[in-house]
Amino acid sequence: MSKQGTMPKVTTMSVRQMKKTGDKITMLTAYDFVTASLMDEAGIDIILVGDSLGMVVMGYESTLPVTMDEMIHHTKAVTRGTKRAMVIGDMPFMSYQVSVEHALTNAGRFMKEAGAHGVKLEGGREMAENVRKIVESGIPVMGHLGLTPQSVHQLGGYRVQGKDKSAARRILDDAKILEQAGAFSLVLECVPASLAKEITSSLTIPTIGIGAGVQCDGQVLVVNDMLGMFDMFTTKFVKRYAELGKEMRRAFSQYIEEVKKEKFPSDAHSF
Ligand code: KIV
């Protein structure tokens, strides 16, 4: 890897190429400038400003309350921290379902106001027309199938999708429809690894899995989950690469104790 800034930017073309060459695509979520800068320096391919923001940053019980303004605010911070990675803005609940025009306007906001390089939206065949129109206007669209958290109440909870034959068939067909509609990639969330493998080999666009096995063209995790900073619930597909939550608790306790006991600031931290 050469110096930052001299590395070519990740684009829709390069991720398609990565599928062809078998080079795995790496994606993580981020919601702020510092985290995005660190990920970008580490060489992440795609940064998703996920509407998971609602749960892991804002403390909502689901992603449903997240607004366009909140998403724009955080996407702006992430794009400012990014030189190489492709930044995708996640369209929040009810920002693209009402009408094609509404979807187009909101997708445009991610590009114009926040400097995103594309958008993601949840849903299959029922979203095909919206995907087509957004893509026709020049905005790259990432699809999202399987467990679609914005439909949590319809799905009856956060559970694995596509377990029986007809449900699996429907997800596979939806994937092909989204590809036809012009999506440049597809998130597969919480589906059996065998189904994700079949979808991946049936499409020319890359699949990015979360709880969908190793055969996807790439992987995504929510940054707070993989850093051990979100404890409200755990899922099987999350691997913790650090325990920052524990480390933060330790640091906060030590600070409180040292201030109380006048150990901080010491002479070294005073003028
Ligand atoms: O909102 C999000 O973080 C997502 C990922 C889990 C794919 O949609």
Asked whether residue 248 falls in the same domain as residue 144, the answer is no
Asked whether residue 251 falls in the same domain as residue 133, the answer is no
Asked whether residue 263 falls in the same domain as residue 183, the answer is no
Asked whether residue 137 falls in the same domain as residue 265, the answer is no
Nearest CA to ligand 1 atom 5: 50
| C-alpha 262 – ligand 1 centre gap (Å) | 44
Of 25, 55, 220, 223, which is best to mutate to test ligand 1, by the most ligand atoms within 8 angstroms of its C-beta?
A: 220
1-15, 184-198, 203-217: least confidently modelled range: 1-15
pLDDT value of residue 6: 64
Taking all residues of the chain, what is their mean pLDDT, rounded to a whole number?
A: 96
- State yes or no: pLDDT of 2 exceeds 50: no
Half-sphere exposure of 139 (CA within 13 A, CB side): 30
Asked whether residue 89 falls in the same domain as residue 118, the answer is yes
| C-alpha 258 – ligand 1 centre gap (Å) | 39
pLDDT per position as a tens digit, 67-99: 999 999 999 999 999 999 999 999 999 999 999
Contact (CB, 8 A) for 213 and 197: yes
pLDDT value of residue 234: 77
Q: Which of 189, 247, 257, 258 is catalytic?
A: 189
Asked whether residue 33 falls in the same domain as residue 100, the answer is yes
Give CA torsion, residues 227, 21, 14, 25, to 10 deg. -10
Ligand 1, residues at Cβ distance < 6 Å: 29, 48, 50-52, 90, 187, 189, 210, 220, 222
pLDDT value of residue 193: 98
Q: Which residues contact 202 (CB under 8 A, 6 or more apart)?
A: 172, 175, 176
Asked whether residue 250 falls in the same domain as residue 192, the answer is no
| C-alpha 52 – ligand 1 centre gap (Å) | 6
Phi, psi dihedral angles at 15 (to 5 degrees): -70, -35
Known catalytic residue: 179?
no
- State yes or no: pLDDT of 5 exceeds 70: no
Q: What is the mean pLDDT of residues 237-258?
A: 97
Domain count, the chain: 2
Domain containing residue 31: CATH number: 3.20.20.60
Model pTM score: 0.96
Position in ligand 1 atom list of the atom nearest CA 50 = 1
Q: 150 in the Ramachandran plot: left (φ > 0), alpha (ψ -120 to 50) or beta?
A: alpha
Instruction: Please state, for a pLDDT cut of 70, what percent of the chain lies above it.
Output: 98
Asked whether residue 104 falls in the same domain as residue 140, the answer is yes
Residue that the structure tokens 């019980």 belong to: 61
Nearest CA to ligand 1 atom 3: 50
Q: Which domain holds residue 260?
A: 244-271
Q: What is the mean pLDDT of residues 63-69?
A: 98
Of 90, 141, 148, 226, which is best to mutate to test ligand 1, by the most ligand atoms within 8 angstroms of its C-beta?
A: 90
Of 35, 187, 226, which is best to mutate to test ligand 1, by the most ligand atoms within 8 angstroms of its C-beta?
A: 187
57-66, 86-95, 173-182, 223-232: least confidently modelled range: 223-232
Nearest CA to ligand 1 atom 1: 50
| C-alpha 87 – ligand 1 centre gap (Å) | 13
Position in ligand 1 atom list of the atom nearest CA 122 = 8
Asked whether residue 82 falls in the same domain as residue 158, the answer is yes
Alpha-carbon gap, residue 181 to 132, rounded angstroms = 5
Asked whether residue 25 falls in the same domain as residue 52, the answer is yes
* Token representation of residue 44: 């992440």
Asked whether residue 107 falls in the same domain as residue 146, the answer is yes
Asked whether residue 94 falls in the same domain as residue 108, the answer is yes
